[in-house]
A and B are shown apart, each in its own frame.
Chain A
């Protein structure tokens, strides 16, 4: 009984998204390329904050994934595992080994974060399959994730002390500092633009292809009626590459780059040395007090 309720919880957000799209977004004439539809604007002290399709859809995806996790991890047993428990265990072990091989043992706390990022990114991109606006084809959403990763990178660079962080800009020669600052900023910019550009280009190419095919069928089979016959089938084949493959690949790459950047930012030897030095200093101080 609860299983069915949880399954409804997985599917219902997507249905609500389709309903919202049907009810509140005016139908466009023919096929057109538009950004996210703005539902309304919240008045905040620092100016209006538009609530767009991208935000609504990403919240729906989050709720859907939440119920999916609950559904997969219900009724866990050590023996006679159910099919969904095996799926859940497979996901956990795969992410575990991915993080272990790319980040090392010191970063095992990152497993849930990486898994959440993978799931959110992949499911958001796959929303195009049901005809909804994918949140990842809005730069604001992806830029938010990239800024979060940038903060993580800076935090792990700061672990060896602020002086070490500032000194790292003057390497290898001090006058290269401006270039180092630019390369630091380029990380989140390239991460967000890569993800956004891939998903957006896929949907735009599909739209251009669909409109071209409908034009072709209108010109060639004008007498049969307004039904665009050539549009049946061919866009679906391309959508396998542009939506399914590209979306999943970009999710994987975003997670992979996050892991590489974060683990690369943390200088483990330097950190251990600093810890040792601090410890020695504290011991010396304690001795002096005695």
Chain B
């Protein structure tokens, strides 16, 4: 019985981590848009390449934040949560 409970905890954590990373779609599309527009801008005005690249990298990094939130949640679910949850389960049994 205990093995089953722990198995459910581990499986749930892994599934949750996978589901959390769905958030990676958003930053991917957003950064793709940003880079596409930056390429257009450089094509139109090659002389301001440096400035456009800096601004684009900056915007990309800011857009990446939501994806990183999801990544941190996924890391917590993989590396931290299982131990915590198993401890809680064992405490509850006692």
Q: Give the interface of A toward B (CB within 8 A).
A: 33, 190, 193-194, 196-198, 200-201, 204, 249-250, 252-253, 256-257
Contact = CB atoms under 8 A, between A and B. Distances in A.
B65 interface: yes
21 contacts: A33-B79, A190-B65, A193-B69, A194-B61, A194-B62, A194-B64, A196-B72, A197-B68, A197-B71, A198-B64, A198-B68, A200-B75, A201-B68, A201-B71, A201-B75, A249-B57, A250-B61, A252-B57, A253-B58, A253-B61, A253-B62
Contacts of A252: 57
Interface bin, chain B = 10 to 19
Contact of A193 (B57, B61, B65): B65
Interface string B2-23: 0000000000000000000000
A238 to B, nearest CB: 16
Contacts of A204: 75
Contacts of A253: 57-58, 61-62
Contacts of B58: 253, 256
A196 B75 CA distance: 12
Nearest to A201: B71
10 shortest interchain CB distances as A-B pairs: A197-B68, A253-B61, A194-B65, A197-B72, A201-B71, A190-B65, A256-B58, A197-B71, A33-B79, A194-B68
State the majority secondary structure of interface residues on A: helix
Contacts of B71: 197, 201
A256 B72 CA distance: 23
Contacts of A250: 61
A194 B69 CA distance: 8
A107 B28 CA distance: 35
A23 B48 CA distance: 52
A172 to B, nearest CB: 23
B79 to A, nearest CB: 6
Most buried by B among A197, A201, A253: A197
Contact of A249 (B61, B69, B75): B61
Nearest to B75: A204
Nearest to A190: B65
B69 A197 contact: yes
A112 B10 CA distance: 49
Contacts of A256: 58
Given A197-B69, A198-B68, 19 more contacts: A190-B65, A193-B69, A194-B62, A194-B64, A194-B65, A194-B68, A197-B68, A197-B72, A198-B61, A198-B64, A201-B68, A201-B75, A249-B57, A250-B61, A252-B57, A253-B57, A253-B61, A253-B62, A256-B58
